[in-house]
Structure 1
Amino acid sequence: MRSIILRIDRASTSLAMAVACLMLAVASLLGMYQIVTRFVLEQPAEWTEILIRVSLIWMVFMGIPTAFRQGAMVSVDVLYRWSPKGMRRVLDWVVCLAALTLVAVIVWWGWDYAQRGSVQSMAGLESVSMFWAYLALPVGGLFSVLGIVANLIDPQRNELETAQ
């Protein structure tokens, strides 16, 4: 069971990071396009502004699962170093449960927000619903759950191991 969860996590975290990298590239390209159209051609493309924002939102929420997987989101390094071995596992569980609670809130309210935003359209892209922008919250949250659980099963603490 453990190896199956870790295999699924590896695939999902890699997919999430690939999407995050793609969204960064999209935001960068759209930003360059906007600069060229605004300052060189003097014909600004308003639709690029909203797409840059949306791609940055997706980039952040798809990058979070990797941070959770590496144990970089909740930093309890000092407390972890000062604790005996038995207490460290308790800290792992506390961090896991706290992170899962936070992610559950993000998924729940993110889905609610996405549904409510489905009646809105993006400024400059009237035919595209805001649902697709707000969907980043629950999707990123669901990917994060796998990273949180995988970090509990197989903790990644490279920075702590080298510092001791």
Structure 2
Amino acid sequence: MRFALAAIDGLNRAVGWALAALLAGISAVVLLQVLVRFVLAPAGLNFPAAWTEELARYLLCWMVFLGAAYGCRRAQLMALDFAVSKLPGRLGQPARYLSLVICLGFFVLLVEVGWTFVEFGRSEASSVMRLSMHWVYAAIPVGCALMVVNTIGLMLEAWTTRADIRSIGAEEALD
């Protein structure tokens, strides 16, 4: 079990670096877009940069799905858990596990639907960059598959450490 959790955490370190790179990429592309529109254009330099908006949007898609997966490992996604946290341990913990199992089912469904999008995207290209859309749509199944792995990792950690699953991630959220 510890090996599996260490592997999941190692995978998440790589996802964290990918998220940092995506954020840096979005920042650079949007900065370029602002410079082109509001600095160069008024100065009379017309530099077409229509691709910047499209690239920023596609990088953001990847960032959202990978970021959601990253958050699943420590239960840091938004949740309405006030009722579950107020229940006594005998009822609250099984309720939390049940909600995670339902989320797992949803994530698996999104992986399946995401692959359908990827297949559809093979015949589509983006309007400006002419990028095959299957690269953009791949964010759905990849991110949701990582959500499955991380949610299972969360449940494994709670089970092996005998910790209250409702409190895992709470200390990181307060930092």
Scaled to the shorter chain, the TM-score interval is 0.7 to 0.9
Note the alpha carbon deviations across 1:70-105, whole angstroms, 9 max, x for none. 112362532233222222331232122111111112
Q: TM-score, with normalisation over the residues of structure 2?
A: 0.82
CA spacing shift, 1:151–1:29, aligned 2, 3 Å: same
By relative contact order (CA 8 Å, sep 6+), the higher-ranking structure is 1
Asked if structure 2 preserves the Cα contact closer than 8 Å seen for 1:65 and 1:143, the reply is yes
Whole-Å Cα distance in 2 between the matches of residues 76 and 50 of structure 1?
34
Match of residue 117 from structure 1 = 121
Whole-Å Cα distance in 1 between the matches of residues 107 and 18 of structure 2?
19
Match of residue 140 from structure 1 = 143
Asked if structure 2 preserves the Cα contact closer than 8 Å seen for 1:34 and 1:44, the reply is no
Structure with more strand by fraction: 1
Whole-Å Cα distance in 2 between the matches of residues 12 and 114 of structure 1?
23
Whole-Å Cα distance in 2 between the matches of residues 81 and 97 of structure 1?
17
Asked if structure 1 preserves the Cα contact closer than 8 Å seen for 2:107 and 2:144, the reply is yes
Whole-Å Cα distance in 2 between the matches of residues 40 and 81 of structure 1?
52
Match of residue 76 from structure 2 = 72
Residue range with higher mean Cα deviation, 20-29 or 130-139: 20-29
Q: What residue identity is the alignment partner of 2:98? A: V
- Can you give the 5+ residue segments of structure 2 that lack an aligned partner in the other structure? 42-46, 158-164
Query: What secondary structure, in the 3-state scheme, does the structure 1 residue paired with 2:34 have?
Result: helix
Match of residue 133 from structure 2 = 130
Asked if structure 2 preserves the Cα contact closer than 8 Å seen for 1:21 and 1:59, the reply is no
Whole-Å Cα distance in 1 between the matches of residues 19 and 108 of structure 2?
21
Match of residue 149 from structure 1 = 152
Asked if structure 2 preserves the Cα contact closer than 8 Å seen for 1:74 and 1:95, the reply is no
Identity over aligned pairs, percent: 25
The number of residues matched between the two structures is: 159
Match of residue 57 from structure 1 = 61
Asked if structure 1 preserves the Cα contact closer than 8 Å seen for 2:86 and 2:92, the reply is no
Match of residue 26 from structure 2 = 27
Q: What's the CA shift for 1:62?
A: 0.6
